[in-house]
Structure 1
Amino acid sequence: MSAMTMLRDATGAAHEAVDAAFGAHDLASPEAYGRFLLAHGRALPAAERVMAALPFARTLPTRAPLLAADLADIGEVVPAPLPFAPGDDAATLWGVLYVVEGSRLGGAMLSRQVPPDLPWRYLGAVHASGQWRAIRAALDAAAAGEDSDWTARMIAGALATFALYAEAAAVNPPA
């Protein structure tokens, strides 16, 4: 079974909960969209900072500056990030990367709900052609031959990242 499949299976409920929390925001409303961006501002910079310890992650473009620019455009500043220290071993970091980079896919779909007069650089920051496939291949290669303890740490990293986003959504819930 691929690492991607293991992660998807093990984190499905957490993923659905985060999707539901953020899906409750009406992105067509400037106020609700602002709350959505503020919530992401509490999670994304912290997750990207942790993820940067993984050499592969440093080959990927970050989105925190795009999020900061979108917040500035609506008159907000990036809030203080929530504490996030899931661990710094490679397995855990791959789990973090799975959630952070996977969120680009959802962001692309959500960006369609944002009116054209609101900034959407952050949600519109999709993977370059073939990049998601390369991420999946790199994740599977990193996990190949690793034991169940490594896999458990990878899953724990992903679950910790989903929990970070869930906490951020609770701090800035829909109005």
Structure 2
Amino acid sequence: MSETVNDIRAEHDPLTALRQVSRTVHERVDQAYSRFNLSDPTSYGAFLQAHAKVLPIVEQWLATQHDLPAWSGRTDLLQRDLQTLGHSLPPALDWHPPTGAGGALGALYVLEGSRLGGKMLSAQVGEGLPREYLSAAHEKGGWPAFLQMLRERLSTGDATYRAAVMDGVTATFDLFRKAAVTD
């Protein structure tokens, strides 16, 4: 059986492997959020409220975790955008954070990756609507530096550590998906 270039790359690069494994759950999240029209104030408000059911609880948990690289939360930006639209933060969804060393790093990978997606989505936000949350990009070089650190930790960690990182990714993506499909 011949190996594809991606198979070979994933075998030697644990970050590539992580991305391949998380692709399916990420696609489910994208599908769940595709129902929102960011140019419509009502739909955009619902989009932000879905994020607000997840982001604060995950960021609060990450703030209690050790051995994470420096990161900055976006809950305050999300809350300001919601307030501008006349909404408050909704109750958080019930969440059982991942356990094991590496779980927090997986959750942070999802949140930091969402900054990239948010930056792209901010262009779809309707004229005059707040977009602080979606426009909150990484500092210059921040995303590549995070990925390099993640790659190094995945490379030096054992199989249990890599599985815990993946559990963090999956748990966080799944929570975002649930928030998008519950009203």
Fold shared per TM-score above 0.5: yes
- Asked whether 1:56 is paired with 2:68, we answer yes
Q: Which has the higher contact order (CA 8 A, sep 6+)?
A: 1
Which residue does 1:7 correspond to in 2?
18
CA RMSD of aligned residues (A): 1.4
Structure 2 CA distance, aligned partners of 1:130 and 1:63? 18
Q: Per the alignment, in what secondary structure is the counterpart of residue 132 of structure 2?
A: coil
In structure 2, list runs of 5 or more residues that go unmatched: 1-11
1:60-75 alignment, distance < 5 Å? 60-75=71-86
The CA deviation string for residues 101-147 of structure 1, in whole angstroms up to 9 with x for no partner, is 10111101100000231000000001111000111111122223211
Checking the alignment, whether the CA contact within 8 Å between 2:38 and 2:125 is kept in structure 1 is yes
Partner of 1:123: 134
C-alpha distance after superposition, 1:56-106 (max 9, x if no partner): 35x211100000000000000011111222235331111101111101111
Q: Report the residue type matching 2:58 in the other structure.
A: A
Cα distance change, pair 40–96 in 1 and its aligned pair in 2 (3 A): same
CA distance in 2: counterparts of 1:99 and 1:70, whole angstroms: 21
Provide the residue aligned with 2:98 in structure 1.
Answer: 87
Q: Are residue 19 (structure 1) and residue 30 (structure 2) matched?
A: yes
- Paired AA for residue 32 in structure 1: S
Aligned to 1:122, what secondary structure does the other structure show? helix
Query: Residues 60, 129 of structure 1: CA spacing in aligned structure 2 closer, same or farther, 3 A cutoff?
Result: same
Normalising by structure 1, we get a TM-score of 0.92
Aligned to 2:148: 137
1:47 counterpart residue number: 58
Letter in 2 for 1:171: T
Amino acid at match of 1:24: R
* Segment of structure 1 superposing worse, 149-158 or 69-78: 149-158
Runs of at least 4 residues of structure 1 off by over 4 A? Answer: none
Between structure 1 and structure 2, the one with the greater Rg is 2
Amino acid at match of 2:130: P
Give the fraction of aligned pairs with identical amino acids, expressed as a percent. Answer: 38
Letter in 2 for 1:19: D
| Structure 2 Cα separation of the partners of residues 7 and 94 of structure 1 | 12
CA contact 2:98–2:167 (8 Å) conserved in 1: no
Distance 2:157 2:76 in 1: 34
Aligned residues: 171
SS in structure 2 of the partner of residue 56 of structure 1:
coil
Contact 1:51 1:93 in 2 (8 A): yes
TM-score, with structure 2 as normaliser: 0.88
How far is 1:35 from its partner? 0.3
